[in-house]
């Protein structure tokens, strides 16, 4: 490898299989970091909690000195201006912590990034893997996992980047419309391909 650390984002729509793909990549021994995990950890930081309460007020407080994540999500969900304000606080904090943790890692390093295109964060990464999956399967899995109605799921999907418009020639794409055993093989082959590219 010429570079010591190749940053690779794994992205895709809600329920496309980002976490599933990242778990399989981790099982192959590669370091994987998750924006969602780091976002959850931010709520343990006093400075972050203070900033959120200062921005959104006591209505998102949990009454125990912390922030109620469900209330916060409800507060920003149907108001794009508020969502932008929340993202302006959380996204820089997430990326800076994630890259700090990955600093010492050598070779291919993977990052699960749900809002890569929405936030215009493509340039932060050397490579991008887009996970796609049949819409009906995504809706079915989210229904089961999160107990949402079809309309609620569609609303969430419509708010996201339209992955059908992705320029697939520019990125690596994993079509997650297969058994997990097949997905494992697809990922194994992709790791070989990317490793080869950076070994030349
Ligand atoms: P989110 O955006 O909501 O975090 P995600 O893109 O990370 O979702 P996953 O959590 O990986 O998606 O997958 C959504 C659901 O679909 C999970 O319950 C997962 O187990 C299941 N799933 C993903 N891929 C497959 C597959 N190839 N075969 C069977 N089930 C799958």
Assess whether pLDDT exceeds 70 at residue 93. Answer: yes
> What does the pLDDT read at residue 3?
59
Q: What does the block give as tokens for 121?
A: 């964060």
- 109 in Cβ contact with 33 (< 8 Å): yes
Residue nearest to atom 17 of ligand 1 (CA): 141
- 95 in Cβ contact with 124 (< 8 Å): yes
Assess whether pLDDT exceeds 60 at residue 1. Answer: no
Residue nearest to atom 20 of ligand 1 (CA): 20
Report the nearest atom of ligand 1 relative to the CA of 14. Answer: 2
Q: What is the pTM assigned to this prediction?
A: 0.93
Q: What is the pLDDT of residues 4-49, one digit of tens each?
A: 789 999 999 999 999 999 999 999 999 999 999 999 999 999 999 9
Assess whether pLDDT exceeds 70 at residue 2. Answer: no
Residue 161: name the closest of 25, 9, 6 by CA: 9
Instruction: For tokens 């980002």, name the residue.
Output: 18
Assess whether pLDDT exceeds 80 at residue 200. Answer: no
What is the Å distance from ligand 1's center to 125 Cα? 23
Report the nearest atom of ligand 1 relative to the CA of 183. Answer: 27
> What does the pLDDT read at residue 116?
96
> What does the pLDDT read at residue 78?
81
Substitution site in 11, 12, 19 for ligand 1 pocket (most atoms within 8 Å of beta carbon) = 19
Task: Give percent above pLDDT 90 in the chain.
Answer: 84
Q: Residue 140's pLDDT band (boundaries 50, 70, 90)?
A: very high
Residue nearest to atom 31 of ligand 1 (CA): 17
What is the Å distance from ligand 1's center to 57 Cα? 34
Q: Residue 122's pLDDT band (boundaries 50, 70, 90)?
A: very high
> What does the pLDDT read at residue 185?
98
What whole-number distance in Å separates Cα of residue 18 and Cα of residue 33? 12
């Amino acid at each position: 490898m010429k570079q010591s650390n190749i940053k690779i984002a794994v992205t895709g729509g809600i329920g496309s299989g980002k976490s599933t793909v990242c778990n399989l990549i981790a099982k192959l021994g590669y370091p994987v970091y998750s924006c969602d995990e780091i976002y959850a950890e931010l709520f343990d930081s006093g400075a972050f909690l203070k900033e959120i309460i200062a921005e959104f007020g006591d209505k998102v407080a949990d009454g125990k000195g912390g922030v109620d994540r469900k209330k916060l999500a409800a507060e920003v969900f149907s108001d794009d201006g508020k969502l932008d304000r929340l993202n302006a606080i959380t996204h820089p904090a997430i990326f800076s912590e994630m890259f700090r943790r990955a600093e010492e890692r050598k070779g291919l390093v993977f990052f699960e990034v749900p809002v890569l295109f929405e936030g215009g964060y493509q340039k932060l990464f050397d490579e991008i893997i887009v996970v796609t999956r049949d819409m009906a399967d995504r809706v079915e899995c989210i229904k089961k996992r999160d107990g949402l109605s079809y309309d609620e799921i569609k609303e969430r999907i419509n708010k996201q980047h339209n992955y059908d418009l992705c320029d697939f020639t520019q990125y690596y794409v994993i079509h997650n419309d297969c058994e997990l055993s097949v997905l494992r093989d697809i990922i194994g082959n992709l790791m070989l391909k990317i490793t080869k590219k950076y070994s030349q």
